[in-house]
A and B are shown apart, each in its own frame.
Chain A
Amino acid sequence: MGRLEPNDRSSTSAPLVELRDVSKRFGGVHALAGISLEIPAGTVHALVGENGAGKSTLAKIIAGAIPHDSGELLVDGRPVTLRSPREGLELGIAMMAQELLVVPHLGVAQNVFLGVEPRRAGWVDRRALRVRYRELAARAGFSLDADRQVAGLRVAEQQQVEIMRALARDARMIVMDEPSQALAGADVERLHAIIRSLAAQGRTVLLVSHFLREVLELADTITVMRDGHIVRSAPATAEDESSLIQAMLGRPLTAAYPPKPRVAPDAAVALRVRGLVARGVDDVSFDLREGEILGLAGLVGAGRSELARAIFGADRRQAGSVELAGESLRPAGPLASLRNGLAMVPESRRELGLLYSRSAVENVSLSSLRGHSRLGVVDRRSERRAAGELLSRVALTRAGGESIVGTLSGGNQQKVLFARMLMCKPRVLIADEPTRGVDVGAKRAIYDLLVGLAAEGTAILLISSEVEEILGLAERVLVMRRGGIAAELVGEAVSESAILAAAFSEPAVRQAA
């Protein structure tokens, strides 16, 4: 027993998991390119990196949740092909995913032993189940009641169920994807204690986390990823927060940016948000001026899209106020927002944006049909003319207007969505990930459009996971973290390292404005 020292490699013949030149593509995008990594048994190994660096993909490949395209995956020195998490489990590798996979209406013990229940003549032996559960819970140091329904448990407790489930199958390695993201306060501490005790029992933990302090505290080895590559793998003792951030930085430019618009110093406030509280948003206040592009940065899950939805009125506001040009926006709702000049290009054009089976023209005019109709009858000529003009302004050829939107490329779909917002003539535009899934050429067209709108006086709130995009377009940046504004950066203070530092570090990195 006792913990295997991570540096004591001589005693272990082969690493528990080894990857050799592993690659993975999603469509045309290289999610992972030539990853080689060794994870010795009995260590806590952390993966860090920006959004989209490939951490989760790598973790899922190791656990068997998704297959890799090329390269070799070795467990105990033997090459394996994992086609499902179940096959990973057979080799002793369990996964605790971001979305927990518990059966909500079964009890704790039944969830823990799901599929491996003690049986007698084909029937589940409930007494044996309970006895074994109690042994297991005692061994793991958990105190969850065997019969409680999982649906009623808190996230932290559901995680414990998942961990016990892995232990019940005698997993040697547990892959945890952002386990502390959904936790708060004492639950985070408890999770850390659990990870330490797993390591003390000689089990291996692969920890994917956004929280650098957590990673530095818990991990033996930290691997930094960027753009699907490994930047470096080093002992945690050799790293600190700033060295990790440095390693995550330095992406090459992928698109050039138009010159940033100058905001007149006396420009009026177009959007004023005060004390806004909503699902995933905790007490946010800021001002946005006419003609300004305000960047909203932060990690996935920090609350940026939730903030956008709450401002736009798509989600209910629990507290706080939203003012447009000095007037309070009430009652809240997408329709009220649009009528008052607040438009939004939502994060997901498929789920929240477009009608895929209708034409581009119909999609463009949907939010402003009233302006192109008489007595409720659509004036199709006027509609087509107006939509055609906007489509050519966003650089989609006029002839494309009759095409069914589902047949257009991602970039052109995004342009259709922008054209819809332009038709509403917004004074404030929220653009949530406006260039996601868009090719480089279309990106530049969208940047030009945003800057052009700002030059005409439209106030723009730009949400992006690509720090580079925020740097290229915004003069002022808000960085969100755990639902609140972690930092406000202006002018010279806006830099990739400052944004990442605020996004990754524990709270209260407030820079004087």
Chain B
Amino acid sequence: MSTEQEQSAVAETASPPAPGRSALLPAGVRWRSAGILIPFVALFVALSIGSAPFFSTTNLLNIVDQQASTLVIAVAGTFVLISGGIDLSVGATYGLASVVFAELAASGWDPAFAILGAVVAGALVGVVNGVVSTVFRINSLIATLAMSFVVAGLASLVTSGNLVLISNQGASQISTAQFLGVNMSTWVMLAVVVALGFLLARTTYGRYVYAAGGNAEAARFAGVRVNLVRVIAFSLSGAAAALGGVLDSARVLSGNSTNNTTLTFTVVAGIVVGGTSILGGEGAVWRTVVGVLLIALIGNGYGLLSLNPLYEQITLGAIMILAVGVDAWSRQVRG
């Protein structure tokens, strides 16, 4: 209820904070934080008890490593959602980057430059997404959906629809090299998550992202260049989708141009389940991490407990509806 929110605001203005509640998180954030953390912890504990192999370093590292590319893409996609847009072209950009990386590496480029080339290509796709959806005012849902066809088509043109094999073993280092017993792809993911988490939470740009999505017109009146903020968010998303594509194709040593729509929807699902608002203005990088991992845990759990995998998708769908429902409900309560 709104009275509860008012009370929590009052609790903070009053000198002794209400015991154990308001000190930890700013007012209004609390409820939805719990909304995502509770099922995550519950599932984690349940799986630890119900399945012996679950709570092992190998399995846990495996889950994280498998999610590395999804996490990278989803964390950047969080910027797009918070700034008031949505990026449905990440699956296609992922495929494009995969073949660009593979072609460049196959033609003898240094792997580092091949990675850079693929990421730049992804960022360019993002710039186009951003410009089309801001300057030309085409709804980003449609703009990026259309862009996904264009990008997937481009990728197929490059490869004529074939798999591109990477013979250069050095190119796989970015994913499969190990450091402290952990795959490089996991380290790359961690670096991206920390960097983007900092960018969103601590920088002026991060503030503008929240402002652009929370109330674009108010942000404009406050002197925020909303279009620029959004274009940057889209190019981050494009670059991250490309990096995800590179990580995965380095792992399997081949580039594949398919438009990976399943990936696109897993990414959006992870962001939304984490509690980032589909309407913009609210959300956080850590939420997306939790959201993506929650979905991964569900998949992992179904595997380990040998449940009928058909129910996995139903569960996922139900959780998404619940997450969006909680978002809508909490907005209504705030009025």
CB distance from B6 to the nearest CB of A (A): 6
Q: Could you tell me if B203 and A377 are in contact, using CB atoms closer than 8 angstroms?
A: yes
A402 adjacent to chain B (CB < 8 Å): yes
Within 8 A of B (CB), among A326-381: 334-335, 337-339, 344, 346, 351-359, 362, 365-367, 369-370, 373, 376-378, 380
Assembly CA distance A362 to B215 (angstroms): 14
Determine whether A490 belongs to the interface, using a CB cutoff of 8 Å to chain B: no
Minimal beta-carbon separation of B287 from chain A (angstroms): 14
Contacts of A357 in B (CB 8 A): 28, 214, 281-282, 334
Q: How far is the CB of A399 from chain B (nearest CB, A)?
A: 4
Answer whether residue A406 sits at the interface, using C-beta atoms and an 8 A cutoff. yes
User: Is B18 an interface residue when CB atoms closer than 8 A count as contact?
Assistant: no
Establish whether residues B220 and A351, one from each chain, have CB atoms under 8 Å apart when the complex forms. no
A-side interface residues toward B, CB under 8 Å?
A: 312, 314, 334-335, 337-339, 344, 346, 351-359, 362, 365-367, 369-370, 373, 376-378, 380, 397, 399-400, 402-404, 406-408, 420
Q: Main SS of the interface on chain B?
A: helix
Is B13 in contact with A397, judged by CB distance below 8 angstroms? yes
Q: Is the CB of B205 within 8 A of A338?
A: no
Contact of B215 among A355, A373, A378 (CB under 8 A): A355
Contact residue among B202, B219, B222 (Cβ-Cβ distance under 8 Å from A377): B202
Q: How far is the CA of A362 from the CA of B9 in the complex (A)?
A: 16
Which chain B residues border A352 with CB–CB below 8 Å? 217-218, 221
- Contact, CB under 8 Å: A378 / B222: no
Q: Find out whether the CB atom of A351 lies under 8 angstroms from the CB atom of B12.
A: no
In contact, A400 and B13 (Cβ under 8 angstroms): yes
Assess whether B224 is in contact with A366, with CB atoms less than 8 Å apart. Answer: yes
Interface range for B: 20 to 34
Q: B221 contacts A346, CB within 8 Å?
A: yes
Q: What CA separation (Å) do A397 and B335 show in the bound complex? A: 23
**Roughly how many angstroms separate A338 CA and B27 CA in the complex, as a whole number?**
30
Report yes or no: B13 in contact with A378, Cβ–Cβ below 8 A: no
Q: What residues on B are CB-neighbors of A370 within 8 Å?
A: 204
Given contacts A344-B221, A357-B282, A399-B13, contact A376 B205 (CB under 8 A): yes
Docked complex Cα distance between A384 and B286 (Å) = 24
Sample (25) of A-B pairs whose CB atoms are under 8 Å apart: A335-B225, A338-B222, A344-B221, A351-B215, A355-B214, A356-B214, A356-B215, A357-B282, A357-B334, A358-B210, A365-B207, A366-B207, A366-B219, A366-B224, A376-B203, A376-B205, A378-B202, A378-B203, A378-B204, A378-B207, A399-B13, A402-B27, A403-B12, A403-B27, A404-B9
Q: A406 to B334, Cβ gap below 8 A?
A: yes
Residues of B within 8 A of A (CB): 2, 5-6, 9, 12-13, 26-28, 202-208, 210-211, 214-215, 217-225, 281-282, 334-335
Q: Are B9 and A407 in contact, CB atoms less than 8 angstroms apart?
A: yes
Also in contact, A355 and B211, with CB within 8 A (given A366-B219, A402-B26, A407-B27): yes
* Alpha-carbon distance A380/B203, docked complex (angstroms): 10
Chain A residues with CB below 8 A from B225, complex form: 335
- Known A-B contacts: A354-B218, A357-B214. Give 4 more (CB < 8 A): A338-B223, A346-B221, A355-B281, A369-B208
Q: Which residue of chain A has its CB nearest to the CB of B206?
A: A378
CA distance A407 to B9 in the complex (A): 7
Interface centre among A334, A351, A359, A365 (most CB of B within 10 A): A334
Q: What is the minimal beta-carbon distance from B82 to any residue of chain A, in angstroms?
A: 11
B27 near A355: Cβ-Cβ < 8 Å = no
B208 CB to nearest chain A CB (Å) = 8
Decide: B221 and A355 in contact? CB cutoff 8 A: no
Which residues of the other chain, B, contact A338 by a CB distance below 8 angstroms? 222-223
Alpha-carbon gap, A378 to B208, bound state (A): 11
Complex-state Cα separation, A346 to B202, whole angstroms: 28
Docked pose: A74 CA to B12 CA in angstroms: 52
B207 partner residues in chain A, CB cutoff 8 A = 362, 365-366, 369, 378
Given A404-B9, A407-B6, A407-B334, verify A353-B203 contact (CB < 8 Å): no
